[in-house]
Chains A and B, each alone.
Chain A
Amino acid sequence: MSGRHPVTTIDLAEVSLRELNQTLHRAQHGSFRVLNPRGAHAVACGIDSDIRVEIDGSVGYYCAGMHQKGSVYVDGNASTGLAENIMSGIVRITGSATMSAGASGGGGLVVIEGNAGARCGISMKGVDIVVGGNVGHMSAFMAQAGNLVVLGDAGAYLGDSLYEANLYVRGAVESLGADAVRKEIRPEHVQTLSNLLEEAGMEADPADFHRYGSARNLYNFHIDDVDAELAGITS
Chain B
Amino acid sequence: MNRPPDDWRLRESYTFDRNVIAEIHRAANTGVYRIRGWGAKRKMPTLDDLVFLGASMSRYPLEGYRESCGTDLVIGEERAARPLKIDIPVTIAGMSFGSLSAEAKEAMGRGASIMGTSTTSGDGGMLPEEREHSAKLVYQVLPSRYGQNPDDLRSADAIEVVVGQGAKPGGGGMLLGQKVSERVAGMRALPAGIDQRSACRHPDWTGPDDLQIKIHELREIVDWQVPIYVKVGAARPFYDTALAVKAGADAVVVDGMQGGTAATQDVFIEHAGIPTIAAIPEAVRALQDLDVHRKSVKLFASGGIRSGADVAKALALGADAVSIGTAALIAIGDNHPDYDEEYRELGSAAGFWEDLQDGTDPAGIATQDPRLRARLDPVVAGRRLANYLQVLTLETQTLARACGKSHITNLEPEDLAALTVEAAAMAQVPVAGTDWIPGRRKR
Interface of A is mostly: loop
Q: Are A17 and B150 in contact (CB under 8 A)?
A: no
| Interface pick from A61-69, A168-176, A185-193 | A61-69
The listed residue (B145, B176, B213) touching A123 by CB distance below 8 A is: B145
Q: Among the interface residues A22, A141, A219, A223, which one has the most CB atoms of the partner chain B within 10 A?
A: A219
CB-based nearest B residue for A62: B217
Q: Are B217 and A65 in contact (CB under 8 A)?
A: yes
| Interface pick from A2-10, A38-46, A148-156 | A38-46
Report B157-191 residues with CB < 8 Å from chain A CB.
176-177, 188-191
User: What residues of chain A lie closer than 8 Å to B203, measured between beta carbons?
Assistant: 84, 100, 103-104, 119, 122-123, 141-142
User: What residues of chain B lie closer than 8 Å to A48, measured between beta carbons?
Assistant: 150-151, 154
Distance of A61 from chain B, by nearest CB (Å): 5
| Interface pick from B50-58, B192-200, B341-349, B427-435 | B192-200
Residue B155 lies at the interface, judged by CB distance under 8 Å to chain A: no
Q: Are A221 and B29 in contact (CB under 8 A)?
A: no
- Not counting A61-B214, A142-B197, A142-B203, a sample of 7 additional A-B residue pairs whose C-beta atoms are within 8 angstroms of each other reads A61-B210, A65-B221, A99-B204, A103-B204, A104-B204, A125-B145, A223-B30
User: What residues of chain B lie closer than 8 Å to A60, measured between beta carbons?
Assistant: 213
User: What residues of chain B lie closer than 8 Å to A220, measured between beta carbons?
Assistant: 177, 194-195
- A123 CA / B123 CA spacing, docked (Å): 14
CB-based nearest B residue for A17: B220
Residue A159 lies at the interface, judged by CB distance under 8 Å to chain B: no
Residue A213 lies at the interface, judged by CB distance under 8 Å to chain B: no
Given contacts A66-B153, A106-B149, contact A84 B221 (CB under 8 A): no
CB-based nearest B residue for A100: B204
Distance of B171 from chain A, by nearest CB (Å): 15
User: What residues of chain B lie closer than 8 Å to A161, measured between beta carbons?
Assistant: 197
User: What residues of chain A lie closer than 8 Å to B29, measured between beta carbons?
Assistant: 224-227
Residue B78 lies at the interface, judged by CB distance under 8 Å to chain A: no
User: What residues of chain A lie closer than 8 Å to B425, measured between beta carbons?
Assistant: none
Distance of B359 from chain A, by nearest CB (Å): 14
Residue A126 lies at the interface, judged by CB distance under 8 Å to chain B: yes
Q: Are B149 and A87 in contact (CB under 8 A)?
A: yes
Residue B387 lies at the interface, judged by CB distance under 8 Å to chain A: no
Q: Are B220 and A106 in contact (CB under 8 A)?
A: no
Q: Are B194 and A80 in contact (CB under 8 A)?
A: no
- A83 CA / B45 CA spacing, docked (Å): 46
Residue B132 lies at the interface, judged by CB distance under 8 Å to chain A: no
Q: Are B199 and A142 in contact (CB under 8 A)?
A: yes
Given contacts A219-B191, A224-B29, contact A85 B220 (CB under 8 A): no
Distance of B263 from chain A, by nearest CB (Å): 11
Given contacts A144-B189, A163-B191, A221-B195, contact A42 B213 (CB under 8 A): yes
Residue B32 lies at the interface, judged by CB distance under 8 Å to chain A: yes
The listed residue (B145, B199, B206) touching A85 by CB distance below 8 A is: B145
Q: Are B204 and A221 in contact (CB under 8 A)?
A: no
User: What residues of chain B lie closer than 8 Å to A119, measured between beta carbons?
Assistant: 203
User: What residues of chain B lie closer than 8 Å to A11, measured between beta carbons?
Assistant: none
Q: Are B150 and A68 in contact (CB under 8 A)?
A: yes
User: What residues of chain A lie closer than 8 Å to B30, measured between beta carbons?
Assistant: 223-226
25 contacts between A and B (CB under 8 A): A18-B220, A18-B224, A41-B216, A42-B213, A46-B223, A61-B214, A62-B213, A66-B150, A68-B151, A81-B205, A84-B203, A99-B204, A103-B203, A104-B203, A122-B203, A123-B203, A125-B189, A145-B189, A161-B197, A219-B195, A220-B194, A222-B31, A223-B31, A224-B31, A226-B28
Q: Are A219 and B204 in contact (CB under 8 A)?
A: no
Report A13-53 residues with CB < 8 Å from chain B CB.
17-18, 21-22, 25, 41-42, 45-46, 48
CB-based nearest B residue for A141: B203
- A75 CA / B262 CA spacing, docked (Å): 46
CB-based nearest B residue for A105: B145
Given contacts A62-B214, A144-B190, A220-B194, contact A45 B220 (CB under 8 A): yes
CB-based nearest B residue for A142: B199
Residue A164 lies at the interface, judged by CB distance under 8 Å to chain B: yes
Report A71-119 residues with CB < 8 Å from chain B CB.
80-81, 84-85, 87, 99-100, 103-104, 106, 119
User: What residues of chain A lie closer than 8 Å to B204, measured between beta carbons?
Assistant: 62, 80-81, 84, 99-100, 103-104, 122
User: What residues of chain A lie closer than 8 Å to B197, measured between beta carbons?
Assistant: 142, 161
Q: Are B195 and A21 in contact (CB under 8 A)?
A: no
Distance of A50 from chain B, by nearest CB (Å): 15
Q: Are B223 and A22 in contact (CB under 8 A)?
A: yes
Distance of A104 from chain B, by nearest CB (Å): 4
CB-based nearest A residue for B191: A164
Residue B307 lies at the interface, judged by CB distance under 8 Å to chain A: no
- A141 CA / B204 CA spacing, docked (Å): 12
Distance of A235 from chain B, by nearest CB (Å): 17
Distance of A226 from chain B, by nearest CB (Å): 5
User: What residues of chain B lie closer than 8 Å to A126, measured between beta carbons?
Assistant: 189
Distance of A162 from chain B, by nearest CB (Å): 11
